[in-house]
Amino acid sequence: MRWYANVKEVGGGDTTVVLAHGYGANQTLWDKLLPALSEHHRVILFDWDFTGAGDDEEAGRYTFGRFADDLIALMDDKGVRGAVVVGHSMSAMAACIASVRRPDLFAHLVLLCASPRYLDSPSEGYVGGFDRASIDGMLGAMSSDFVAWVKGFVPNAAGGDSSAAVALEQSFLSMHRSVALEVARMIFLGDQRGVLDAVAAPCTVVQVAGDFAAPPAVAEYMRQRMMTRSPEAEAEVEVVVMDSVGHFPQLVAPQQLLAVLQRVLQREEEDEQAGEAAKVVDGIDVMA
């Protein structure tokens, strides 16, 4: 069973962009960015399927590793190699894991509103943004009255943007209750910090200044941790903090986000052209 559905491909060009949405959303999250991105690039979108009924027999089936494997399967199915992958929220860490397992698929990771661990760890000096009581309270609220929880959570996640909140609320409410709760446990109680040490692809970590779920301190932690992988890593890990609010900048600040993505894509294209030019020069040298 695959957890992705409704795969769509638009646009065309030498660079492939894969857009992976986060928890509770669907591919319509990217609608405000799609016309500009697809004008010069091949863009692949899909939906994570949160609608399947979970049961006791399959408890624990949702893991970041399995989402990563499905992302790999999707990219293989579409013949993707060397893509710019934009992973939002939970998909950011799934993309990190996938990039370690299959580095040939990833030219650049854009980690949008990402967090490897939401739970604070005072003994390690790690600030994830939530203590255990807050997370337990949230999961309890989801379990007891999911609709009420969605109606309270979504306006904050949408940064107070009422039009964005309407679409998000509909998407969140389309999730199967048991799936929503199990995936939330996976996200908020998980710890994916270790994978950051192994990510080799260049990364742009994009955070929102007023994101209650993934504060900018988490982005700096990610940058510092990924910089330990090699002496060259510092130049390959960039943090961009957007002057906005909420956890869904695709809806609230699309032009700001689009500017970041276009800069990443331009840089990747320039690097690819430089690489091709270097191959030609090397070839001439060999012939000589």
Task: Give the residue with greater pLDDT, 71 vs 288.
Answer: 71
Closest C-alpha among 174, 173, 158 to residue 210? 158
Task: Please state at what angle helix 146-157 crosses helix 177-189, rounded to 10 degrees.
Answer: 50
Q: What is the mean pLDDT of residues 48-54?
A: 76
Closest C-alpha among 7, 6, 1 to residue 75? 7
Q: Burial level of 143, CB count in 10 A (0-12/13-18/19+)?
A: middle
Q: Tell me what pLDDT residue 58 has.
A: 54
Q: Tell me what pLDDT residue 139 has.
A: 97
pLDDT digit string (tens) for 97-137?
Answer: 999 999 999 999 999 999 999 999 999 999 999 999 999 99
Whether 115 is a known active-site residue: answer no
Q: How far apart are the C-alpha atoms of 80 and 73, rounded to whole Å?
A: 10
Q: What is the mean pLDDT of residues 264-283?
A: 70
Q: Which domain holds residue 55?
A: 4-286
Catalytic residue among 21, 41, 88, 247: 247
Whether 31 is a known active-site residue: answer no
pLDDT of 56 strictly over 50: no
pLDDT digit string (tens) for 5-15?
Answer: 999 999 999 99
Q: Is the dihedral of CA 15, 21, 27, 33 positive or negative?
A: negative
Which residues in 169-181 are b (16+ Cβ under 10 Å) and which e? bebbeebbebbbb
Number of domains in the chain: 1
pLDDT digit string (tens) for 138-183?
Answer: 999 999 999 999 999 999 999 989 989 999 999 999 999 999 999 9
pLDDT of 235 strictly over 60: no
Whether 134 is a known active-site residue: answer no
Catalytic residue among 70, 99, 211, 244: 211
Catalytic residue among 38, 89, 99, 244: 89
Q: Tell me what pLDDT residue 57 has.
A: 46
Local confidence band at 285 (pLDDT 50, 70, 90 cut-offs):
very low
Which CATH number goes with the domain that contains 231?
3.40.50.1820
Q: Tell me what pLDDT residue 228 has.
A: 80
